[in-house]
A and B are shown apart, each in its own frame.
Chain A
Amino acid sequence: MKMRFWGVRGSIPCPGSHTMKYGGNGACIELRVEGRKEIIVIDAGSGIRELGNSLVANDLPNGPLQLALYLSHTHWDHIMGFPYFTPIYIPGTKMTVHGPVTYEDDPLKDVVGGQMKYRYFPINVGELASDIEYKRLREEPNIDLGDGLLLTTKFLNHPITALGYRFEYKGKVFCTCYDHEPYRNLFITDPDHPEYDEAMAYEGEEVAQEQNQAVEDFFKGADLLVHDTQYTEEEYKTKVNWGHSTFEWAIASANRAGVKRLALFHHDPDRTDAQIEEMEKTYCEPGKYGNTEVFFATEGSEIIV
Protein backbone atom coordinates (compact mmCIF):
# COMPACT_ATOMS: atom_id res chain seq x y z
CA MET A 1 0.00 0.00 0.00
CA LYS A 2 1.12 3.53 -0.68
CA MET A 3 -0.32 6.54 1.10
CA ARG A 4 0.11 10.26 0.69
CA PHE A 5 -0.87 13.16 2.93
CA TRP A 6 -2.75 15.88 1.02
CA GLY A 7 -3.82 17.71 4.16
CA VAL A 8 -2.69 17.33 7.77
CA ARG A 9 -4.37 20.20 9.67
CA GLY A 10 -7.27 20.16 12.05
CA SER A 11 -10.12 22.64 12.47
CA ILE A 12 -9.46 25.05 9.58
CA PRO A 13 -6.99 25.42 6.70
CA CYS A 14 -4.18 27.76 7.69
CA PRO A 15 -1.99 28.58 4.68
CA GLY A 16 0.76 31.13 5.19
CA SER A 17 4.41 31.66 5.79
CA HIS A 18 4.26 29.86 9.16
CA THR A 19 2.88 26.61 7.78
CA MET A 20 4.89 26.17 4.57
CA LYS A 21 6.89 23.19 5.77
CA TYR A 22 4.22 20.92 7.27
CA GLY A 23 1.33 22.29 5.24
CA GLY A 24 -1.81 24.28 5.89
CA ASN A 25 -4.52 22.14 4.26
CA GLY A 26 -7.23 20.23 6.13
CA ALA A 27 -7.34 16.43 6.49
CA CYS A 28 -7.05 14.34 3.34
CA ILE A 29 -5.16 11.10 2.76
CA GLU A 30 -4.79 9.12 -0.46
CA LEU A 31 -4.33 5.36 -0.22
CA ARG A 32 -3.42 3.16 -3.16
CA VAL A 33 -3.36 -0.61 -3.11
CA GLU A 34 -1.30 -2.34 -5.76
CA GLY A 35 -3.33 -3.85 -8.57
CA ARG A 36 -6.51 -2.11 -7.42
CA LYS A 37 -8.13 0.33 -9.83
CA GLU A 38 -10.18 2.01 -7.14
CA ILE A 39 -8.33 4.80 -5.35
CA ILE A 40 -9.11 5.23 -1.65
CA VAL A 41 -9.38 8.70 -0.18
CA ILE A 42 -9.77 9.32 3.52
CA ASP A 43 -11.48 12.59 4.35
CA ALA A 44 -12.37 15.56 2.22
CA GLY A 45 -10.69 18.44 4.05
CA SER A 46 -9.28 21.24 1.92
CA GLY A 47 -6.33 19.03 0.90
CA ILE A 48 -8.63 17.03 -1.38
CA ARG A 49 -8.62 19.86 -3.91
CA GLU A 50 -5.03 19.25 -4.91
CA LEU A 51 -5.54 15.50 -4.87
CA GLY A 52 -8.39 16.04 -7.34
CA ASN A 53 -6.15 18.07 -9.64
CA SER A 54 -3.50 15.39 -9.50
CA LEU A 55 -5.99 12.61 -10.30
CA VAL A 56 -7.33 14.53 -13.28
CA ALA A 57 -3.83 15.20 -14.60
CA ASN A 58 -2.29 11.79 -13.99
CA ASP A 59 -5.00 9.14 -13.68
CA LEU A 60 -7.92 10.30 -15.77
CA PRO A 61 -5.99 9.86 -19.03
CA ASN A 62 -5.94 6.11 -18.23
CA GLY A 63 -9.72 5.90 -18.00
CA PRO A 64 -12.64 7.03 -15.81
CA LEU A 65 -11.84 7.38 -12.13
CA GLN A 66 -13.05 4.89 -9.55
CA LEU A 67 -12.93 6.38 -6.08
CA ALA A 68 -13.89 5.36 -2.57
CA LEU A 69 -14.05 8.23 -0.12
CA TYR A 70 -14.06 7.28 3.57
CA LEU A 71 -15.02 10.10 5.92
CA SER A 72 -13.78 9.89 9.49
CA HIS A 73 -16.78 12.05 10.43
CA THR A 74 -18.73 14.93 9.03
CA HIS A 75 -17.35 17.92 10.91
CA TRP A 76 -16.74 20.71 8.46
CA ASP A 77 -12.94 20.55 8.40
CA HIS A 78 -13.26 16.98 7.09
CA ILE A 79 -15.79 17.63 4.33
CA MET A 80 -15.24 21.24 3.22
CA GLY A 81 -13.02 20.29 0.28
CA PHE A 82 -15.70 18.09 -1.28
CA PRO A 83 -17.21 20.77 -3.57
CA TYR A 84 -13.70 21.56 -4.87
CA PHE A 85 -12.83 17.97 -5.74
CA THR A 86 -12.74 18.17 -9.54
CA PRO A 87 -13.43 14.46 -10.26
CA ILE A 88 -17.04 14.82 -9.02
CA TYR A 89 -17.75 17.08 -12.02
CA ILE A 90 -16.38 14.64 -14.56
CA PRO A 91 -18.82 12.29 -16.26
CA GLY A 92 -17.69 8.70 -15.89
CA THR A 93 -16.26 9.14 -12.38
CA LYS A 94 -17.66 6.54 -10.03
CA MET A 95 -17.37 7.34 -6.37
CA THR A 96 -18.73 5.82 -3.18
CA VAL A 97 -18.80 8.09 -0.15
CA HIS A 98 -18.66 6.11 3.10
CA GLY A 99 -19.00 7.56 6.55
CA PRO A 100 -20.70 7.51 9.92
CA VAL A 101 -23.80 9.55 10.66
CA THR A 102 -24.93 10.54 14.12
CA TYR A 103 -28.32 9.03 14.93
CA GLU A 104 -31.22 11.43 14.26
CA ASP A 105 -29.06 13.42 11.89
CA ASP A 106 -29.75 13.70 8.16
CA PRO A 107 -28.63 10.95 5.77
CA LEU A 108 -24.96 11.09 4.73
CA LYS A 109 -25.86 12.45 1.30
CA ASP A 110 -27.54 15.49 2.82
CA VAL A 111 -24.85 16.09 5.41
CA VAL A 112 -22.05 16.06 2.84
CA GLY A 113 -24.02 17.41 -0.13
CA GLY A 114 -25.80 19.99 2.02
CA GLN A 115 -22.85 22.34 1.58
CA MET A 116 -23.56 22.33 -2.15
CA LYS A 117 -26.67 24.45 -2.08
CA TYR A 118 -26.94 27.73 -3.94
CA ARG A 119 -26.74 29.71 -0.74
CA TYR A 120 -23.26 28.34 -0.07
CA PHE A 121 -21.96 27.29 -3.46
CA PRO A 122 -22.76 28.00 -7.13
CA ILE A 123 -23.43 24.36 -7.98
CA ASN A 124 -26.08 22.18 -6.43
CA VAL A 125 -25.20 18.63 -5.37
CA GLY A 126 -27.90 17.35 -7.73
CA GLU A 127 -26.08 18.79 -10.72
CA LEU A 128 -22.91 16.72 -10.39
CA ALA A 129 -21.98 14.80 -13.52
CA SER A 130 -20.34 11.88 -11.74
CA ASP A 131 -21.98 8.81 -10.32
CA ILE A 132 -21.86 9.11 -6.52
CA GLU A 133 -23.27 6.64 -4.05
CA TYR A 134 -23.47 7.21 -0.30
CA LYS A 135 -23.09 4.47 2.29
CA ARG A 136 -23.52 4.87 6.03
CA LEU A 137 -20.95 2.94 8.02
CA ARG A 138 -21.13 1.58 11.53
CA GLU A 139 -18.59 -0.27 13.60
CA GLU A 140 -17.69 -3.49 11.83
CA PRO A 141 -14.74 -5.88 11.67
CA ASN A 142 -13.17 -7.31 8.55
CA ILE A 143 -15.26 -5.85 5.76
CA ASP A 144 -14.04 -7.54 2.58
CA LEU A 145 -13.33 -4.83 0.02
CA GLY A 146 -12.12 -7.33 -2.58
CA ASP A 147 -8.65 -7.88 -4.05
CA GLY A 148 -7.49 -9.11 -0.63
CA LEU A 149 -8.13 -5.76 1.04
CA LEU A 150 -9.86 -5.86 4.44
CA LEU A 151 -11.35 -2.95 6.34
CA THR A 152 -12.22 -2.73 10.03
CA THR A 153 -14.06 0.31 11.36
CA LYS A 154 -14.10 1.50 14.97
CA PHE A 155 -16.16 4.15 16.71
CA LEU A 156 -13.99 6.81 18.29
CA ASN A 157 -14.68 9.36 21.02
CA HIS A 158 -15.69 12.69 19.50
CA PRO A 159 -18.66 15.04 19.97
CA ILE A 160 -20.29 13.46 16.90
CA THR A 161 -20.00 9.91 15.66
CA ALA A 162 -16.52 9.38 14.21
CA LEU A 163 -14.85 6.28 12.79
CA GLY A 164 -11.28 5.05 12.69
CA TYR A 165 -10.30 2.92 9.68
CA ARG A 166 -7.97 -0.06 9.61
CA PHE A 167 -6.95 -1.27 6.15
CA GLU A 168 -5.14 -4.61 5.89
CA TYR A 169 -3.50 -5.90 2.76
CA LYS A 170 -1.01 -8.74 2.40
CA GLY A 171 -0.15 -8.65 6.10
CA LYS A 172 0.44 -4.90 6.17
CA VAL A 173 -1.77 -2.60 8.23
CA PHE A 174 -2.58 1.06 7.73
CA CYS A 175 -4.75 2.71 10.35
CA THR A 176 -6.38 6.06 11.07
CA CYS A 177 -7.48 7.19 14.52
CA TYR A 178 -8.89 10.69 14.37
CA ASP A 179 -10.72 12.79 15.48
CA HIS A 180 -10.43 11.13 18.82
CA GLU A 181 -10.13 11.95 22.48
CA PRO A 182 -9.29 9.27 25.02
CA TYR A 183 -12.39 7.98 26.78
CA ARG A 184 -12.65 9.08 30.38
CA ASN A 185 -14.91 8.48 33.33
CA LEU A 186 -17.75 11.00 32.99
CA PHE A 187 -19.29 10.16 36.34
CA ILE A 188 -18.71 11.83 39.67
CA THR A 189 -15.79 10.20 41.48
CA ASP A 190 -15.68 12.34 44.62
CA PRO A 191 -17.28 10.27 47.42
CA ASP A 192 -18.22 13.47 49.26
CA HIS A 193 -20.26 14.82 46.35
CA PRO A 194 -24.01 14.60 47.10
CA GLU A 195 -24.70 12.83 43.79
CA TYR A 196 -21.83 10.36 44.12
CA ASP A 197 -22.75 6.81 43.23
CA GLU A 198 -20.14 4.19 43.84
CA ALA A 199 -21.34 1.76 41.20
CA MET A 200 -21.52 4.44 38.51
CA ALA A 201 -18.11 5.83 39.40
CA TYR A 202 -16.64 2.34 39.28
CA GLU A 203 -18.28 1.26 36.05
CA GLY A 204 -17.59 4.61 34.38
CA GLU A 205 -13.91 4.09 35.09
CA GLU A 206 -14.02 0.51 33.94
CA VAL A 207 -15.78 1.33 30.66
CA ALA A 208 -13.43 4.23 29.90
CA GLN A 209 -10.41 1.99 30.38
CA GLU A 210 -11.96 -0.82 28.43
CA GLN A 211 -12.86 1.46 25.53
CA ASN A 212 -9.36 2.93 25.48
CA GLN A 213 -8.06 -0.63 25.36
CA ALA A 214 -10.48 -1.39 22.49
CA VAL A 215 -9.08 1.53 20.51
CA GLU A 216 -5.55 0.28 21.12
CA ASP A 217 -6.57 -3.20 20.05
CA PHE A 218 -8.03 -1.66 16.91
CA PHE A 219 -4.66 -0.28 15.82
CA LYS A 220 -2.62 -3.08 17.34
CA GLY A 221 0.49 -3.93 15.38
CA ALA A 222 -0.20 -1.34 12.68
CA ASP A 223 2.66 -0.67 10.28
CA LEU A 224 1.49 2.92 10.07
CA LEU A 225 -0.95 4.72 12.35
CA VAL A 226 -2.22 8.25 11.70
CA HIS A 227 -3.42 9.58 15.07
CA ASP A 228 -5.09 12.79 16.22
CA THR A 229 -2.57 14.85 18.20
CA GLN A 230 -3.99 18.34 18.21
CA TYR A 231 -2.79 19.30 21.68
CA THR A 232 0.03 19.00 24.15
CA GLU A 233 -0.80 17.69 27.60
CA GLU A 234 -0.65 21.24 28.93
CA GLU A 235 -3.00 22.63 26.24
CA TYR A 236 -5.43 19.77 26.77
CA LYS A 237 -6.23 20.91 30.30
CA THR A 238 -8.53 23.59 28.90
CA LYS A 239 -9.80 21.50 25.95
CA VAL A 240 -11.29 18.49 27.70
CA ASN A 241 -14.37 17.19 25.82
CA TRP A 242 -13.34 18.93 22.59
CA GLY A 243 -12.71 15.50 21.09
CA HIS A 244 -8.94 15.52 20.48
CA SER A 245 -5.88 13.72 21.79
CA THR A 246 -2.50 14.82 23.09
CA PHE A 247 0.93 13.90 21.72
CA GLU A 248 1.70 12.17 24.97
CA TRP A 249 -1.41 10.00 24.85
CA ALA A 250 -1.07 9.02 21.18
CA ILE A 251 2.59 8.10 21.50
CA ALA A 252 2.09 6.08 24.68
CA SER A 253 -0.87 4.15 23.34
CA ALA A 254 0.76 3.51 19.94
CA ASN A 255 3.74 2.13 21.83
CA ARG A 256 1.62 -0.16 23.95
CA ALA A 257 -0.13 -1.41 20.84
CA GLY A 258 3.14 -2.23 19.10
CA VAL A 259 2.60 0.29 16.29
CA LYS A 260 5.67 0.47 14.04
CA ARG A 261 5.30 4.02 12.72
CA LEU A 262 3.13 6.77 14.14
CA ALA A 263 2.21 9.89 12.17
CA LEU A 264 1.19 12.77 14.45
CA PHE A 265 -1.76 14.33 12.65
CA HIS A 266 -4.53 16.93 12.82
CA HIS A 267 -2.10 19.68 13.77
CA ASP A 268 -3.64 22.63 15.54
CA PRO A 269 -4.09 25.51 13.06
CA ASP A 270 -2.10 27.80 15.37
CA ARG A 271 0.89 25.44 15.39
CA THR A 272 3.73 27.04 13.36
CA ASP A 273 6.49 25.24 11.47
CA ALA A 274 8.98 26.54 14.03
CA GLN A 275 6.95 25.11 16.90
CA ILE A 276 6.61 21.74 15.22
CA GLU A 277 10.35 21.63 14.55
CA GLU A 278 10.92 22.29 18.22
CA MET A 279 8.39 19.59 19.18
CA GLU A 280 10.09 17.09 16.91
CA LYS A 281 13.06 17.25 19.24
CA THR A 282 10.84 16.23 22.12
CA TYR A 283 8.40 13.78 20.61
CA CYS A 284 10.27 12.22 17.70
CA GLU A 285 13.63 11.39 19.23
CA PRO A 286 14.34 7.75 18.35
CA GLY A 287 13.93 5.38 21.25
CA LYS A 288 12.83 8.07 23.71
CA TYR A 289 9.28 6.73 23.92
CA GLY A 290 9.90 3.09 23.09
CA ASN A 291 10.21 1.38 19.74
CA THR A 292 7.59 3.23 17.73
CA GLU A 293 9.00 5.57 15.09
CA VAL A 294 7.23 8.89 15.61
CA PHE A 295 7.01 11.71 13.07
CA PHE A 296 4.85 14.74 12.26
CA ALA A 297 2.60 14.24 9.22
CA THR A 298 3.68 16.56 6.42
CA GLU A 299 1.52 17.63 3.51
CA GLY A 300 2.73 16.10 0.25
CA SER A 301 4.78 13.32 1.85
CA GLU A 302 4.36 9.77 0.61
CA ILE A 303 4.83 6.59 2.61
CA ILE A 304 4.99 2.97 1.53
CA VAL A 305 3.25 0.70 3.99
Chain B
Amino acid sequence: MEEEGAAHRKAITRFIKRMPSLSTTVGKVMEICSRTDASPNELNKVISLDPVLTGQVLKLINSAYYSLMNKVTSLTRAITMLGMNTVKNMALSTAIIRSVSGAKKSIALPTKQFWAHSIATGVCAKLLAKANGVPVMECEEYFVAGLLHDLGKIPFGDEYIDVLQKVKVDYLPLIDLEREMLGVDHQEVGRQIAEKWKLNEAMTCAIAYHHDVEAAPEEQRVRVAYVGLANMYSNILDLGYAGDPFPAPEGADAMLEITGLSWDMFGAVAKDVEAEIEKAQVFLQS
Protein backbone atom coordinates (compact mmCIF):
# COMPACT_ATOMS: atom_id res chain seq x y z
CA MET B 1 0.00 0.00 0.00
CA GLU B 2 2.76 2.40 0.96
CA GLU B 3 4.61 1.51 -2.20
CA GLU B 4 1.49 2.13 -4.23
CA GLY B 5 1.03 5.50 -2.51
CA ALA B 6 4.60 6.46 -3.37
CA ALA B 7 4.01 5.50 -6.99
CA HIS B 8 0.89 7.66 -7.19
CA ARG B 9 2.77 10.60 -5.72
CA LYS B 10 5.55 10.18 -8.25
CA ALA B 11 3.12 10.06 -11.16
CA ILE B 12 1.34 13.15 -9.89
CA THR B 13 4.56 15.08 -9.39
CA ARG B 14 5.56 14.18 -12.94
CA PHE B 15 2.19 15.35 -14.21
CA ILE B 16 2.46 18.68 -12.42
CA LYS B 17 5.97 19.20 -13.73
CA ARG B 18 4.64 18.85 -17.25
CA MET B 19 1.67 21.14 -16.64
CA PRO B 20 1.97 24.47 -18.41
CA SER B 21 3.06 27.39 -16.25
CA LEU B 22 0.53 30.07 -15.55
CA SER B 23 1.17 32.39 -18.46
CA THR B 24 3.02 35.62 -17.79
CA THR B 25 0.01 37.49 -19.11
CA VAL B 26 -2.33 35.95 -16.56
CA GLY B 27 0.10 36.70 -13.76
CA LYS B 28 0.35 40.30 -14.91
CA VAL B 29 -3.40 40.68 -15.38
CA MET B 30 -3.86 39.42 -11.83
CA GLU B 31 -1.30 41.90 -10.57
CA ILE B 32 -2.78 44.89 -12.42
CA CYS B 33 -6.31 43.96 -11.44
CA SER B 34 -5.49 43.81 -7.78
CA ARG B 35 -4.05 47.34 -7.84
CA THR B 36 -6.44 50.25 -7.52
CA ASP B 37 -4.02 52.74 -9.08
CA ALA B 38 -3.42 50.89 -12.35
CA SER B 39 -3.75 53.22 -15.34
CA PRO B 40 -5.87 52.57 -18.45
CA ASN B 41 -2.60 52.34 -20.38
CA GLU B 42 -1.21 49.59 -18.18
CA LEU B 43 -4.40 47.55 -18.27
CA ASN B 44 -4.69 47.88 -22.01
CA LYS B 45 -1.08 46.89 -22.58
CA VAL B 46 -1.16 43.85 -20.34
CA ILE B 47 -4.29 42.38 -21.89
CA SER B 48 -3.22 43.22 -25.44
CA LEU B 49 -0.04 41.17 -25.00
CA ASP B 50 -2.27 38.13 -25.28
CA PRO B 51 -4.41 38.23 -28.44
CA VAL B 52 -6.53 35.25 -27.44
CA LEU B 53 -7.39 36.79 -24.06
CA THR B 54 -8.15 40.07 -25.81
CA GLY B 55 -10.57 38.27 -28.12
CA GLN B 56 -12.29 36.50 -25.24
CA VAL B 57 -12.68 39.68 -23.22
CA LEU B 58 -14.18 41.50 -26.18
CA LYS B 59 -16.52 38.63 -26.90
CA LEU B 60 -17.65 38.60 -23.30
CA ILE B 61 -18.21 42.35 -23.28
CA ASN B 62 -20.23 42.16 -26.46
CA SER B 63 -22.41 39.33 -25.23
CA ALA B 64 -22.96 40.91 -21.83
CA TYR B 65 -23.67 44.46 -22.94
CA TYR B 66 -24.40 44.89 -26.58
CA SER B 67 -26.84 43.64 -29.13
CA LEU B 68 -25.91 43.75 -32.77
CA MET B 69 -25.21 47.43 -33.07
CA ASN B 70 -22.15 49.22 -31.77
CA LYS B 71 -19.93 46.16 -31.38
CA VAL B 72 -16.91 46.75 -29.19
CA THR B 73 -13.95 45.81 -31.34
CA SER B 74 -10.88 46.91 -29.38
CA LEU B 75 -9.69 47.14 -25.80
CA THR B 76 -9.09 50.87 -26.05
CA ARG B 77 -12.69 51.17 -27.14
CA ALA B 78 -13.94 48.89 -24.37
CA ILE B 79 -12.08 50.84 -21.67
CA THR B 80 -13.31 54.19 -23.02
CA MET B 81 -16.91 53.02 -23.29
CA LEU B 82 -17.30 50.83 -20.22
CA GLY B 83 -14.63 52.07 -17.87
CA MET B 84 -11.61 50.43 -16.24
CA ASN B 85 -13.39 48.37 -13.61
CA THR B 86 -15.67 46.46 -15.93
CA VAL B 87 -12.86 45.55 -18.29
CA LYS B 88 -10.56 44.65 -15.38
CA ASN B 89 -13.03 42.22 -13.83
CA MET B 90 -13.84 40.55 -17.09
CA ALA B 91 -10.18 40.13 -18.00
CA LEU B 92 -9.34 38.61 -14.63
CA SER B 93 -12.08 36.00 -14.65
CA THR B 94 -11.48 35.11 -18.28
CA ALA B 95 -7.72 34.80 -17.82
CA ILE B 96 -7.96 32.49 -14.85
CA ILE B 97 -10.53 30.15 -16.29
CA ARG B 98 -8.69 29.93 -19.55
CA SER B 99 -5.39 29.03 -18.00
CA VAL B 100 -6.96 26.43 -15.77
CA SER B 101 -9.06 24.91 -18.54
CA GLY B 102 -5.89 24.68 -20.62
CA ALA B 103 -4.44 22.05 -18.30
CA LYS B 104 -4.86 18.40 -19.28
CA LYS B 105 -8.26 17.20 -18.21
CA SER B 106 -8.74 14.52 -15.58
CA ILE B 107 -9.73 11.24 -17.19
CA ALA B 108 -12.04 10.24 -14.40
CA LEU B 109 -14.01 13.46 -14.02
CA PRO B 110 -16.08 14.70 -16.95
CA THR B 111 -14.70 18.16 -17.77
CA LYS B 112 -18.00 19.95 -18.18
CA GLN B 113 -19.42 18.63 -14.92
CA PHE B 114 -16.17 19.35 -13.11
CA TRP B 115 -16.16 23.01 -14.18
CA ALA B 116 -19.86 23.32 -13.43
CA HIS B 117 -19.02 22.27 -9.86
CA SER B 118 -16.12 24.70 -9.73
CA ILE B 119 -18.22 27.59 -10.99
CA ALA B 120 -21.06 26.73 -8.60
CA THR B 121 -18.61 26.69 -5.69
CA GLY B 122 -17.15 30.03 -6.77
CA VAL B 123 -20.59 31.54 -7.11
CA CYS B 124 -21.75 30.20 -3.72
CA ALA B 125 -18.59 31.43 -1.98
CA LYS B 126 -19.15 34.87 -3.46
CA LEU B 127 -22.86 34.93 -2.54
CA LEU B 128 -22.21 33.75 1.01
CA ALA B 129 -19.51 36.37 1.47
CA LYS B 130 -21.76 39.05 0.04
CA ALA B 131 -24.68 37.99 2.26
CA ASN B 132 -22.43 38.28 5.28
CA GLY B 133 -21.31 41.82 4.48
CA VAL B 134 -17.93 41.21 2.83
CA PRO B 135 -17.24 44.35 0.73
CA VAL B 136 -18.31 43.87 -2.89
CA MET B 137 -14.82 44.65 -4.20
CA GLU B 138 -13.45 41.66 -2.27
CA CYS B 139 -16.18 39.21 -3.25
CA GLU B 140 -14.57 38.51 -6.63
CA GLU B 141 -11.61 36.93 -4.82
CA TYR B 142 -14.01 34.52 -3.13
CA PHE B 143 -15.35 33.59 -6.53
CA VAL B 144 -11.88 32.87 -7.86
CA ALA B 145 -10.90 30.93 -4.73
CA GLY B 146 -14.03 28.78 -5.10
CA LEU B 147 -13.39 28.32 -8.78
CA LEU B 148 -9.88 26.97 -8.19
CA HIS B 149 -10.42 24.96 -5.00
CA ASP B 150 -10.47 21.53 -6.71
CA LEU B 151 -7.50 22.08 -9.03
CA GLY B 152 -5.79 19.21 -7.29
CA LYS B 153 -8.15 16.66 -8.85
CA ILE B 154 -6.93 17.38 -12.37
CA PRO B 155 -3.68 15.35 -12.29
CA PHE B 156 -5.23 12.09 -11.01
CA GLY B 157 -5.13 9.30 -13.60
CA ASP B 158 -7.11 6.09 -14.18
CA GLU B 159 -6.76 5.05 -10.55
CA TYR B 160 -9.17 7.84 -9.64
CA ILE B 161 -12.03 6.03 -11.40
CA ASP B 162 -11.97 3.34 -8.70
CA VAL B 163 -11.93 5.95 -5.96
CA LEU B 164 -14.95 7.75 -7.41
CA GLN B 165 -16.74 4.44 -7.81
CA LYS B 166 -16.16 3.49 -4.19
CA VAL B 167 -17.47 6.90 -3.05
CA LYS B 168 -20.75 6.08 -4.75
CA VAL B 169 -20.98 2.52 -3.47
CA ASP B 170 -20.04 3.24 0.15
CA TYR B 171 -21.48 6.78 0.50
CA LEU B 172 -18.17 8.05 1.85
CA PRO B 173 -16.42 11.42 1.67
CA LEU B 174 -14.09 11.52 -1.34
CA ILE B 175 -11.10 12.91 0.50
CA ASP B 176 -11.08 10.00 3.00
CA LEU B 177 -11.01 7.50 0.17
CA GLU B 178 -8.31 9.41 -1.71
CA ARG B 179 -6.11 9.17 1.36
CA GLU B 180 -6.96 5.53 1.91
CA MET B 181 -6.69 4.31 -1.67
CA LEU B 182 -4.12 6.66 -3.19
CA GLY B 183 -2.14 7.78 -0.17
CA VAL B 184 -2.48 11.40 -1.29
CA ASP B 185 -5.45 13.78 -1.43
CA HIS B 186 -6.48 16.51 -3.85
CA GLN B 187 -5.68 19.25 -1.34
CA GLU B 188 -2.04 18.23 -1.28
CA VAL B 189 -1.89 17.88 -5.06
CA GLY B 190 -3.63 21.23 -5.44
CA ARG B 191 -1.04 22.87 -3.23
CA GLN B 192 1.73 21.65 -5.52
CA ILE B 193 -0.05 23.19 -8.53
CA ALA B 194 -0.62 26.43 -6.61
CA GLU B 195 3.08 26.57 -5.83
CA LYS B 196 4.03 25.93 -9.43
CA TRP B 197 1.65 28.64 -10.59
CA LYS B 198 2.75 30.99 -7.81
CA LEU B 199 -0.85 31.63 -6.80
CA ASN B 200 -1.18 34.00 -3.86
CA GLU B 201 -1.64 32.75 -0.32
CA ALA B 202 -5.40 33.25 -0.29
CA MET B 203 -5.90 31.03 -3.34
CA THR B 204 -3.33 28.50 -2.19
CA CYS B 205 -5.02 28.11 1.19
CA ALA B 206 -8.48 27.73 -0.36
CA ILE B 207 -7.06 24.90 -2.46
CA ALA B 208 -5.03 23.27 0.32
CA TYR B 209 -7.42 23.51 3.28
CA HIS B 210 -11.05 23.54 2.11
CA HIS B 211 -11.64 20.16 3.77
CA ASP B 212 -9.48 21.01 6.82
CA VAL B 213 -10.43 24.58 7.49
CA GLU B 214 -9.20 24.63 11.05
CA ALA B 215 -5.70 23.72 9.91
CA ALA B 216 -5.50 26.79 7.64
CA PRO B 217 -3.32 29.72 8.79
CA GLU B 218 -5.42 31.95 11.00
CA GLU B 219 -5.43 34.99 8.70
CA GLN B 220 -6.75 32.88 5.81
CA ARG B 221 -9.18 30.74 7.76
CA VAL B 222 -12.32 32.80 7.21
CA ARG B 223 -12.06 32.83 3.43
CA VAL B 224 -11.17 29.14 3.37
CA ALA B 225 -14.27 28.43 5.48
CA TYR B 226 -16.46 30.25 2.93
CA VAL B 227 -14.99 28.10 0.17
CA GLY B 228 -15.44 24.98 2.30
CA LEU B 229 -19.10 25.78 2.87
CA ALA B 230 -19.65 26.65 -0.77
CA ASN B 231 -18.04 23.36 -1.79
CA MET B 232 -20.30 21.43 0.58
CA TYR B 233 -23.30 23.31 -0.77
CA SER B 234 -22.64 22.51 -4.42
CA ASN B 235 -21.76 18.89 -3.58
CA ILE B 236 -24.93 18.28 -1.60
CA LEU B 237 -27.14 19.98 -4.18
CA ASP B 238 -25.44 18.23 -7.12
CA LEU B 239 -24.46 21.46 -8.82
CA GLY B 240 -22.07 19.97 -11.33
CA TYR B 241 -20.00 16.95 -10.27
CA ALA B 242 -16.53 16.69 -8.81
CA GLY B 243 -16.77 13.25 -7.27
CA ASP B 244 -17.82 14.14 -3.73
CA PRO B 245 -21.59 13.82 -3.32
CA PHE B 246 -21.32 12.62 0.31
CA PRO B 247 -19.05 15.12 2.08
CA ALA B 248 -18.47 14.74 5.82
CA PRO B 249 -21.16 16.87 7.47
CA GLU B 250 -19.25 17.38 10.73
CA GLY B 251 -17.19 20.28 9.41
CA ALA B 252 -20.21 22.47 8.62
CA ASP B 253 -20.83 23.77 12.14
CA ALA B 254 -17.21 24.79 12.61
CA MET B 255 -17.15 26.54 9.24
CA LEU B 256 -20.38 28.39 10.01
CA GLU B 257 -18.87 29.52 13.28
CA ILE B 258 -15.67 30.73 11.64
CA THR B 259 -17.57 32.70 8.99
CA GLY B 260 -20.27 33.93 11.37
CA LEU B 261 -22.93 32.65 8.98
CA SER B 262 -26.12 31.07 10.28
CA TRP B 263 -27.77 27.96 8.81
CA ASP B 264 -30.53 30.24 7.54
CA MET B 265 -28.09 32.49 5.70
CA PHE B 266 -26.36 29.41 4.33
CA GLY B 267 -29.68 28.20 2.94
CA ALA B 268 -30.80 31.60 1.74
CA VAL B 269 -28.23 31.85 -1.07
CA ALA B 270 -30.26 29.20 -2.91
CA LYS B 271 -32.53 31.76 -4.52
CA ASP B 272 -29.66 33.51 -6.30
CA VAL B 273 -27.35 30.62 -7.05
CA GLU B 274 -28.92 29.53 -10.30
CA ALA B 275 -29.03 32.98 -11.89
CA GLU B 276 -25.45 33.66 -10.80
CA ILE B 277 -24.21 30.37 -12.19
CA GLU B 278 -25.84 31.14 -15.49
CA LYS B 279 -24.11 34.51 -15.55
CA ALA B 280 -20.75 32.97 -14.71
CA GLN B 281 -21.11 30.26 -17.39
CA VAL B 282 -20.45 32.97 -19.93
CA PHE B 283 -16.78 32.81 -18.93
CA LEU B 284 -16.53 29.24 -20.09
CA GLN B 285 -17.83 29.82 -23.58
CA SER B 286 -14.96 29.85 -25.98
- Footprint of B on A, CB under 8 Å? 102-104, 106-107, 138-141, 155, 157, 159, 161, 183, 185-188, 195-197, 199-200, 203-204, 207-208, 211, 214
Across-interface contacts of A214 in B (CB, < 8 A): 70
Are the CB atoms of A207 and B77 closer together than 8 Å? yes
Are the CB atoms of A195 and B80 closer together than 8 Å? no
Of the residues B40, B66, B67, contact of A187 by C-beta under 8 Å = B40
Are the CB atoms of B76 and A207 closer together than 8 Å? yes
Other A-B contacts than A188-B39, A195-B42, 5 sampled, CB-CB below 8 A, are A103-B65, A139-B67, A195-B39, A195-B41, A204-B40
Across-interface contacts of A183 in B (CB, < 8 A): 80-81
21 pairs across A/B with beta carbons < 8 Å? A103-B64, A103-B86, A107-B275, A139-B65, A140-B69, A141-B69, A155-B65, A157-B81, A186-B40, A186-B79, A187-B40, A187-B79, A188-B39, A195-B45, A197-B44, A199-B76, A200-B40, A204-B40, A204-B80, A207-B77, A207-B81
A155 to B65, CA, bound (A): 9
Count how many chain B residues have C-beta atoms less than 8 Å from C-beta atoms of the other chain: 26
A199 to B77, CA, bound (A): 12
Across-interface contacts of B41 in A (CB, < 8 A): 187-188, 195-197, 200
Are the CB atoms of B81 and A104 closer together than 8 Å? no
Of the residues A107, A141, A197, A208, contact of B80 by C-beta under 8 Å = A208
A50 to B41, CA, bound (A): 47
Across-interface contacts of B42 in A (CB, < 8 A): 195
Are the CB atoms of B76 and A204 closer together than 8 Å? yes
Indicate if B74 sits at the interface (CB-CB under 8 A): yes
A107 to B273, CA, bound (A): 12
Question: Which of B41, B64, B279: most chain A CB closer than 10 A?
Answer: B41
A287 to B261, CA, bound (A): 64
Report B268 CB to chain A, min CB distance, Å: 13
A37 to B42, CA, bound (A): 53
A187 to B77, CA, bound (A): 11
